[in-house]
Amino acid sequence: MPDSKDDPAAAAPRATRLALPKGAQEEAVAQLLADAGLRLRAGPRDYRPELPLPGFEVKRLKARDVVTMVAAGSRDVGFAGADWIAEQEADLVERLDTGLDPVRIVAAAPLALLVDGRLPARPLRVATEYPRLAQRWIERRGLDARIVRSHGATEAFPPEDADLIVDNTASGATLRAQQLVEVDLLMESTTRLWAGRAALADPVQRARIDGLALLLASVLEARRRVLLEMNVEAARLDAVVAALPAMRQPTIAPLAGGAGFAVKAAVPRAALPRLVAELKERGASDLVVTAPTQIVP
């Protein structure tokens, strides 16, 4: 029998098992991966797409199952909302907050239920897909309430099947459509990349996970910034540079023939409307704006 030391296959580290959320979060995560050069390819089975990143094995799961499987160790790393981590009280390590799919977990009730804008002091029924979060909120508020489990369309429960709900909302439009008003905020959540502690204790798995997080962070940083280039006369250079919110310092290079300077900086995208007018006032000309695809600080 060959010694495992002489068998390259036996010595090769196993694949890093990545879990992707199936459902509402899937499109945004898939686009983030694609923007990092990691476009998912359909595998022989729908639940196992292929990721063009060596050493990774991918499986699509429901968001709450991503948390369960990473916590159990059958997946090493996965994308899930912070709300499901809190709901399952999972001991996972956040490696990247993507900021995608922001939602708020709120308590909401029909306006007719409220007394002077507050919940009444009587037994209440709380419909929710988040029984642990809801129970902790009930205890924190000192309410006399019991949980009614829901499995979707929680906002439809009041007033016949529940008095109020604990649910996630992005814009609040669905709550308003059901004539529900928010009475409390339990937490805010976004899609994040989570890793299991056992995976992070393995140097090979940790390096792969951190490499993936770095790639995705570079895309998120690029989405927040634009590359702004301009020409400036020497006499106005200091005034222009003083107005630039560069990541560190802008890049400055002399123009041919001593005609001034070319200035380049990655600036916050949100500041662009204000900056263009201000830089023109300070003497910048020939401004060019481009969108980077990745920025690695």
pLDDT 10s digits, 230-251: 999 999 999 999 999 877 889 9
Fold match between 103-189 and 225-290? no
d(CA 49, CA 71): 22
**Domain spans, the chain:** 4-99+191-222, 103-189, 225-290
Share above pLDDT 70 across residues of the chain, in percent, rounded to a whole number: 95
- pLDDT tens-digit profile of 8-29? 555 678 999 999 998 878 899 9
The chain-wide mean pLDDT, for the chain, equals: 92
Q: Which fold has domain 225-290?
A: Alpha-Beta Plaits (3.30.70)
Domain at 4-99+191-222: CATH architecture = 3-Layer(aba) Sandwich (3.40)
The token duo for 39 is 């476009």
Across 129-270, where does the E strand assignment appear?
Answer: 145-149, 164-169, 180-195, 225-232, 251-254, 261-268
Indicate the length of the chain as a whole number.
Answer: 297
pLDDT of residue 8: 52
DSSP state, residue 105: E
Domain at 103-189: CATH architecture = 3-Layer(aba) Sandwich (3.40)
- Secondary structure class of 275 (helix, strand, coil): helix
d(CA 59, CA 47): 6
| pLDDT of 44 over the 90 cut | no
